[in-house]
């Protein structure tokens, strides 16, 4: 059993006193190794999702599997709970089955690989990384079907296996995986790139052990975890109230015209421990928007969010996990039971960060961010080109980041800290399409003292017949504003046919046939505004208008009048702001843009052009299971 292997290794590692300078040197060396893992991967992988957008997550952990450096990852804990075999030098483990590792990864496209790092026959650390594979089989190109009803429709899933055993590649398992995907050469390249990244991390950890000694290396990592725990304990004490805070948000629909789906969470502090309770979250969907949320992973999300908002100088790692307790009722959207479909979990994953913002901000409104993390839109385009060659694009697009207490939200930017866009030149070179529009959408960011980031419009001109898939959200509900800030605009997808016809597409749809000459206009949502827009410096509004981020008409939502010369009309601005303030009254903590879901759905067709989703259908078992608190 892995636990026994690790326990024996720990007994051979001694806890020794390490001075601060040495700890800082080892910490810097591990950080550099973590970024070197990224560099190796990006220069070796083939898929644009990994190579260009950096849809991968590395980590280096101690012998217990606790992440010491990395990005949004605590994979090894879930792996250890799901794996029953041995751990030996030269092994590399692979899995893409969320249910086998309790949500350490959350859908089948993510290939998680782990490597135990040995020096002189002794386990001294772990390296892990997962990357999103463009395709793993299943019923649609890209393996992310919107209408899947079980995980078996989403591609081949593999429980934790030794893809390398004592250094020898298990070619049979790898050949089965590659045989069942549409782009085996991409998957093979990305697989080898991840292995190379893990070996790079192993080499660096061994070098540290050789320089300082294994006991010092082990003890320094322990102190790095302890320092994080001390800092997070103080942060929780200062920012999380003992009084229970509650917040809820919604996934707009499930791709089968049912919704919205509620994500509910309560948060409070008991002593030095922060409690998150997702009681009240809707039962699991019959579709693929379920998100198997690993409790350890959520602790990382919450910790990173708190650090970024309250104290960005803290190095985040797994040291603080015992200071949080996460309760997720089984049978809910966030704890679905196998074989529930999981492929489109990205909507709930993004919405978790909006829920965190709504919870953490109630006790500290001066630190509150608006909504806008909201989603991670996916676009897929596939088919055979005029030479009969198969092409397949998977791309993540970005929306508006929310307004913050200390500044505007970035326009058309990723919610993930290390993600980048796919360069248009890359897209046009490797795929039969032309990018005719790539711009932020004026006025889509929510007005506020600090403006929400604008959404992004991409115009895809298709040059070959093929199929597209769209995965997006925030088309029905708005990214809410805070502390008087107004909501951001919603997303929208419009297909302009070469014959002159026009189609408004749902936010989640597969198998849309496109012909050469068709144009897709993909608009993402804008971030919510933060703070009273009537307090925004009129000169900043004037600049936004001059930069094309806000229109002259949109400036009036800030109470600012821009004259024909492009300057601020001070007298008219003063009068308009007084009128708007009188009409509005006191500012509200949250502005969702609607009074109730029922009222929003009644306005749906007129405002969006799309039919309102109907009431979700839940199985009797899921309703019963989600009503019970987890043991």
pLDDT in tens, 232-255: 999 899 889 999 999 999 999 999
pLDDT in tens, 486-522: 999 999 999 999 999 999 999 999 999 999 999 999 9
pLDDT at 455: 96
pLDDT at 143: 97
pLDDT at 630: 47
223 closest CA partner among 19, 511, 398: 19
Provide the token pair at 250.
């919604």
Q: What share of the chain is helix, strand, coil (3-state, %, to 5)?
A: 35, 20, 45
Distance set, CA 391 to CA 30, 381, 385 (Å): 38, 8, 7
Report residue 264's pLDDT band, with 50, 70 and 90 as the boundaries.
Answer: very high
More confident residue, 621 or 530: 530
519 within 8 A of 436, measured Cβ to Cβ:
yes
> DSSP string covering 539-564, please?
HHHHHHHHTTSS-HHHHGGGT--B-T
- Residue 216: left if φ>0, alpha if ψ -120 to 50, beta else—which one? alpha
Report residue 367's pLDDT band, with 50, 70 and 90 as the boundaries.
Answer: confident
Q: Are strands 466-471 and 456-462 parallel, antiparallel or unpaired?
A: unpaired
For residue 380, the SS3 value is strand
Report residue 6's pLDDT band, with 50, 70 and 90 as the boundaries.
Answer: low
For residue 15, the SS3 value is coil
For residue 571, the SS3 value is helix
pLDDT at 364: 82
48 within 8 A of 54, measured Cβ to Cβ:
no
pLDDT at 419: 83
pLDDT in tens, 388-399: 999 999 999 999
Handedness of CA 488, 247, 476, 338 (dihedral sign): positive
What's the mean per-residue pLDDT of the chain? 93
Give the mean model confidence (pLDDT) for residues 223-230. 94
pLDDT in tens, 100-157: 988 989 999 999 999 999 999 999 999 999 999 999 999 999 999 999 999 999 999 9
Kindly report whether the peptide bond that precedes residue 210 is cis, defined as omega within 30 degrees of 0: no
- Residue 374: left if φ>0, alpha if ψ -120 to 50, beta else—which one? left
pLDDT at 5: 58
Provide the token pair at 454.
């604008």
DSSP-assigned letter for residue 243: S
Provide the token pair at 56.
């991968």
Cα 590 vs. chain centroid, distance in angstroms?
Answer: 23
Give the mean model confidence (pLDDT) for residues 201-214. 97
Domain ranges of the chain: 2-228
pLDDT at 527: 96
For residue 477, the SS3 value is coil
pLDDT at 332: 97
118 closest CA partner among 218, 206, 59, 1: 206
Distance CA 596, CA 614 (A): 15
Residue 287 pLDDT greater than 80, yes or no: yes
In sequence order, which residues have a C-beta less than 8 Å from that of residue 237 and are 6 or more positions away?
A: 269, 272
Percentage of the residues of the chain whose pLDDT score is greater than 90 = 82
Report residue 631's pLDDT band, with 50, 70 and 90 as the boundaries.
Answer: very low
Give the mean model confidence (pLDDT) for residues 318-341. 96
pLDDT in tens, 27-37: 999 999 999 99
More confident residue, 621 or 344: 344
Residue 297 pLDDT greater than 70, yes or no: yes
pLDDT at 316: 82
Query: Which of 329-338, 369-378, 404-413, 466-475 is the least confident region?
Result: 369-378
DSSP-assigned letter for residue 366: G
Give the mean model confidence (pLDDT) for residues 186-194. 98
Distance CA 140, CA 146 (A): 9
pLDDT in tens, 570-601: 999 999 999 999 999 889 999 999 999 999 99
Cα 485 vs. chain centroid, distance in angstroms?
Answer: 24
Percentage of the residues of the chain whose pLDDT score is greater than 70 = 97
């Amino acid at each position: 059993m892995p636990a026994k292997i690790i326990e024996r290794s720990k007994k051979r590692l001694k806890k020794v006193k390490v001075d601060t300078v040495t700890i800082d040197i080892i910490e810097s060396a591990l950080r550099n190794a973590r970024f070197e893992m990224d560099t190796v991967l990006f220069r070796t992988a083939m898929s644009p999702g990994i190579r260009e957008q950096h849809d991968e997550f590395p980590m280096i952990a101690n012998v217990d599997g606790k992440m010491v450096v990395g990005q949004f990852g605590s994979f090894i804990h879930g792996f250890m709970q799901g794996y029953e075999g041995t751990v030996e030098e030269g092994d590399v483990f692979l899995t893409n089955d969320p249910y086998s590792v309790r949500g350490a990864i959350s859908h089948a496209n993510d290939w998680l690989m782990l490597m135990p790092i040995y020096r002189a026959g002794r386990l001294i650390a772990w390296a892990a990384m997962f990357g999103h594979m463009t395709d793993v089989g299943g019923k649609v190109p890209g393996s992310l079907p919107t209408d899947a009803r079980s995980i078996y429709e989403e591609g081949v899933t593999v429980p934790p296996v030794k893809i390398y055993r004592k250094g020898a590649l298990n070619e049979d398992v790898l050949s089965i995986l590659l045989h069942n995907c549409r782009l085996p050469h991409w998957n093979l390249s990305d697989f080898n790139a991840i292995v190379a990244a893990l070996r790079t991390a192993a080499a660096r950890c061994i070098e540290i052990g050789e320089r300082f000694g294994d006991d010092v290396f082990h003890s320094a990592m322990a102190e790095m975890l302890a320092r994080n725990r001390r800092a997070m304990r103080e942060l929780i004490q200062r920012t999380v109230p003992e009084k229970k805070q509650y917040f809820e948000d919604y996934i707009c629909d499930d791709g089968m015209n049912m919704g919205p789906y509620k994500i509910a969470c309560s948060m409070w502090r008991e002593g030095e421990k922060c409690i998150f309770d997702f009681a009240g979250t809707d039962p699991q969907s019959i579709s693929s928007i379920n998100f198997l949320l690993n409790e350890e992973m959520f602790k990382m999300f919450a910790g990173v969010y708190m650090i970024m908002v309250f104290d960005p100088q803290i190095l985040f790692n797994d040291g603080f996990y015992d200071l949080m307790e996460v309760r997720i009722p089984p049978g809910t959207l966030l704890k679905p039971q196998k074989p529930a479909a999981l492929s489109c979990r990205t909507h709930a994953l993004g919405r978790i960060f909006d829920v965190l913002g709504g919870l953490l901000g109630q006790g500290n409104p001066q630190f509150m961010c608006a909504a806008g993390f909201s989603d991670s839109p996916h676009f897929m385009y596939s088919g055979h080109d005029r030479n009969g060659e198969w092409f397949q694009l998977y791309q993540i697009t970005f929306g508006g980041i929310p307004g913050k207490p200390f500044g505007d939200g970035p326009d058309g930017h990723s919610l993930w800290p290390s993600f980048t866009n796919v360069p248009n030149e890359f897209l046009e070179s490797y795929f039969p399409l032309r990018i005719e529009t790539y711009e932020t959408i004026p006025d889509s960011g929510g007005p506020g003292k600090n403006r929400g980031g604008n959404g992004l419009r991409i115009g895809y001109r298709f040059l070959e017949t093929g199929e597209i898939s769209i995965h997006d959200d925030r088309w029905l509900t708005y990214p809410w504003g805070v502390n008087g800030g107004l909501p951001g605009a919603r997303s929208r997808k419009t297909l302009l046919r070469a014959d002159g016809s026009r189609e408004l597409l749902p936010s989640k749809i597969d198998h849309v046939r496109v012909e050469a000459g068709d144009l897709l206009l993909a608009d993402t949502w804008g971030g919510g505004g933060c703070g009273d827009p009537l307090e925004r410096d009129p000169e900043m509004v004037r600049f936004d208008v001059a930069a094309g981020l806000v229109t002259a008409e949109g400036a009036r939502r800030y109470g600012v009048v821009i004259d024909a010369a492009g300057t601020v009309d001070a007298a008219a601005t003063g009068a308009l702001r007084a009128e708007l303030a009188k009409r509005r009254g006191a500012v509200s903590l949250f502005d969702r843009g609607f009074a109730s879901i029922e009222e929003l759905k009644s306005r749906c067709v007129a405002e969006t052009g799309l039919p309102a989703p109907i009431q979700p259908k839940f199985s009797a078992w899921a309703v019963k299971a989600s009503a019970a608190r987890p043991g």
